[in-house]
Amino acid sequence: MTVKNRVVIVTGASAGIGKATAELLTRNGAKVALVARSKDKLDKLSKILPDSLPIACDMANENQIKNMVKKVFEHYGRIDILINNAGQGYDAMIEDINTGSIRKIFELDFIGPLVAMQQVIPIMKRQAKGSIINVSSGTALMHLPNMGGYASIKSALAHMSLTAREELKNSGITVSIIYPYMTNTDFEKNTIKEKKQEWNFDENDPDFKPPDSPEYVAEKIVDLINNGAPEMYAHDWFKNL
């Protein structure tokens, strides 16, 4: 689907990959509903993105997600594209995972995107057209120490997306999943960590590739909207896995 004149919901639009994606979509002529919790950041961004709509919404709160989609539809009269990007990382060895913390991550990284999909699918079905992009993680393709909880949830998100794609194949709605590589955002800072010690990539490893920029990942997301592929690896490095 081309993005010009399309109405797009970008969750997690106040920072990082979501912000870069909202900016790129606007440059390409889309009308973007900017969704995150930080209303001040969204208001500021909205001032410089023509036709955008800032909406404060906790993507871990089902009622707020329902209200958010309702507001977007009331404002624009249609919803063409949903980008489920809001998310948070979680670092802990399996033996240290706090079940309360991982449930919270599951609410945001899996249930939130699911509820948003359930809200937009009937609208997109009536339009007989739509595109849903869910942002997973390259960690879902690996078995990295400390990432088991987060990666399992991102893996579940990928599985759910590809199942929805199959279910919706005759409806005009395309569901796709993107797996970003390490990206230069505040993601690591915002990641919940159960213990101080961290597992990190060995930067001296000849296979180590430096993080991508959020602008690069945004380009990949727009490419994915355009080509409607089921999956996209944001980094060639994953093709060797």
Is 181 one of the catalytic residues? no
Nearer to ligand NAP, 162 or 171 (CB): 162
Nearer to ligand NAP, 20 or 168 (CB): 20
How many Å apart are CA 66 and CA 172, to the nearest integer? 22
Size of the site for ligand NAP (CB under 6 A): 30
Residue 109 CB, shortest distance to ligand NAP, in Å, is: 6
Footprint (CB under 6 A) of ligand NAP, residues 119-148: 135, 137-138
Footprint (CB under 6 A) of ligand NAP, residues 186-205: 186-187, 190
Q: Which of 37, 71, 129, 193 binds ligand NAP (CB under 6 A)?
A: 37
Tell me, what amino acid is at 231? E
The verdict on 218 binding ligand NAP (CB under 6 A) reads: no
How many Å apart are CA 94 and CA 87, to the nearest integer? 20
Residue 224 CB, shortest distance to ligand NAP, in Å, is: 13
Footprint (CB under 6 A) of ligand NAP, residues 53-92: 58-60, 85-89
Q: 104 with 44: CB under 8 angstroms? A: no
How many Å apart are CA 134 and CA 147, to the nearest integer? 19
Q: 156 with 163: CB under 8 angstroms? A: no
Which residue in the list 76, 150, 179, 181 is annotated as catalytic?
150
How many Å apart are CA 108 and CA 47, to the nearest integer? 27
Residue 83 CB, shortest distance to ligand NAP, in Å, is: 10
Q: Half-sphere exposure of residue 21, counting CA atoms within 13 Å on the CB side?
A: 35
Strand blocks (E) in 25-95? 31-36, 53-56, 81-84, 90-91
Which helix (H) or strand (E) segment holds residue 132: the answer is strand 130-135
Q: Which residues bind ligand NAP (CB under 6 A)?
A: 11-12, 14-18, 36-38, 41, 58-60, 85-89, 108, 135, 137-138, 180, 182-183, 185-187, 190
**Catalytic residue set:** 150
